[in-house]
Amino acid sequence: MEALLLPIFYVVVLLYSVVIHEVCHGLMADSLGDPTAKNLGRLTLNPLKHLDMFGSVLLPLLLFIARAPFIIGYAKPVPYNPDNLSDKKYGPVKVALAGPASNIVLALVFGLSLRLMPDIFTSSLVPQLFSFIIILNLVLAIFNLFPIPPLDGHWLLMTFLPARFNALKVFLYRYSLPLLFVFIIFIFPLMFPLVSILYKLITGINL
């Protein structure tokens, strides 16, 4: 039974982690004057409103079955209109960073809960489940902060990169898909020591 329930739990956690990520994008946009996501009914934790069948279900399941060293996924991006934002210069950055920030908050909440957990729970599955939530949300935050379109981190680069680097901006947008694949396959796995460091910093436990 445990062998069956754990994969289901992992998928549910991944699903809600990416849903919260997307909702926070919409909430930030709404707070800055753009009601697009709210008008479309996307400011909800109902996963059916955000579900992407491949990115939210099939991709993480395939990675889990293949025993991949990491599990990632995504929900349908929450739409927003940057022209409606009250902060035209830094608004897109604020909207972009709201998603990874939500994953960091989730990692902190469950990490501190694990650190302070009474000994009565240590022999149960609870620490294992909390650990997965922490690791997953750290992975999602780091992954999305990388400065390649369409990841959230690219808005930081596009906003603060001087105009003399416009050719680099054009290059990143033009070749974003192959660059993203290169990042996922070759670069992102190298960042797992950072995940381990952050995990220990939050929980006080070696990963």
- What's the confidence (pLDDT) of residue 17? 93
Q: What is the pLDDT, as a whole number, of residue 177?
A: 87
Domain ranges, residue 38: 2-203
Q: Which two tokens stand for residue 96?
A: 């972009």
Alpha helices (H) along the chain = 2-31, 36-39, 59-65, 91-115, 126-144, 154-160, 166-174, 176-182, 192-203
Could you tell me which of 24, 15, 16 has the C-alpha nearest to residue 99?
24
Return the SS3 of 119. helix
Tell me what pLDDT residue 118 has.
81
Reading phi first (left if > 0) and then psi (alpha if -120 to 50, else beta), residue 101 is in alpha
142 contact partners, CB below 8 Å, separation of at least 6: 191, 194, 195
Per the structure, how many domains does the chain have?
1
Q: Could you give the angle at the alpha carbon of 105 between the alpha carbons of 74 and 36, nearest 5°?
A: 55
| pLDDT at residue 34, rounded to an integer | 95
- Is 22 one of the annotated active-site residues of the chain? yes
Quote the pLDDT of residue 74.
Answer: 75
pTM: 0.90
Q: Would you say 156 and 99 are in contact if contact means Cβ atoms under 8 Å apart? A: no
Marked catalytic residue, from 10, 21, 22, 142:
22
Collapsed DSSP state (helix, strand, coil) of residue 75: coil
Extract the tokens encoding 187.
């670069």
The whole-angstrom separation of Cα 152 and Cα 86 is 20
In the Cβ-directed half-sphere of 106, how many Cα atoms lie within 13 Å?
A: 27
Length, in residues, of the chain: 207
What is the chain's pLDDT, residue by residue, as a tens digit (207 residues)? 566 677 788 878 988 999 999 999 999 999 999 999 999 999 999 988 888 877 777 777 777 777 766 667 778 889 999 999 999 999 999 999 999 999 999 999 999 999 998 876 666 788 889 999 999 999 999 999 999 998 999 999 999 999 899 999 999 999 998 998 888 888 888 888 999 999 999 999 988
Residues 6+ apart with CB under 8 A from 178: none
pLDDT tens digits, one per residue of 80-118: 999 999 999 999 999 999 999 999 999 999 999 999 988
**Position 45, amino acid:** L
Closest to 14 measured CA to CA, from 67, 52, 66, 40: 52
